[in-house]
Amino acid sequence: MARKTIIGKHALIQVAQGQKEIAAQLFVYDQIREIRVDMEKFEVKVLMTYDEAYFRVFAAKPEETEEGKEKAKTAVLKFYTELVNASMKLTDEEKENLKKQAEARAKQMQEASEETKEEA
């Protein structure tokens, strides 16, 4: 099955194509209530105004190496940042501040995870 994700001007679109069917999911930015990142599962999920369930809109499957995990983390944060920027229609200055904040949060999460591993 082929999958493609498109971050458009007004909506996030996910297209999946099988042998006999094609499906598209549309996530209109005006209806997104929350965008969530899970750095342990390397996933980005959205919560819509019309539903109570989170939809996974992006996932990375890292190799079991530190380099593979870093690549997955980078891909997840890039997707998250692009989705937030697109949905909020931010200025360049706001985009840069948001990027710095996301990187700082990711670093804090990584340090906390490393501390937890050391304690175990």
- Residue 1 clears pLDDT 70, i.e. is over it: no
- Tens of pLDDT, residues 33-62: 899 999 889 999 999 888 899 988 888 888
- Tens of pLDDT, residues 80-118: 888 887 887 777 787 788 888 888 888 888 888 777 777
Give residue 120's pLDDT band: very low, low, confident or very high (50, 70, 90): low
Q: What is the 3-state secondary structure (H, E, C) of the chain?
A: CEEEEEECCCEEEEEEECCCCEEEEEEEHHHEEEEEEECCCCEEEEEECCCCCEEEEEECCCCCCHHHHHHHHHHHHHHHHHHHHHHHCCCHHHHHHHHHHHHHHHHHHHHHHHHHHHHC
Whether the CB-CB separation of 77 and 37 falls below 8 Å is answered with yes
Distance CA 107, CA 90 (A): 23
Locate 114 and state its tokens.
Answer: 């490393």
pTM equals 0.66
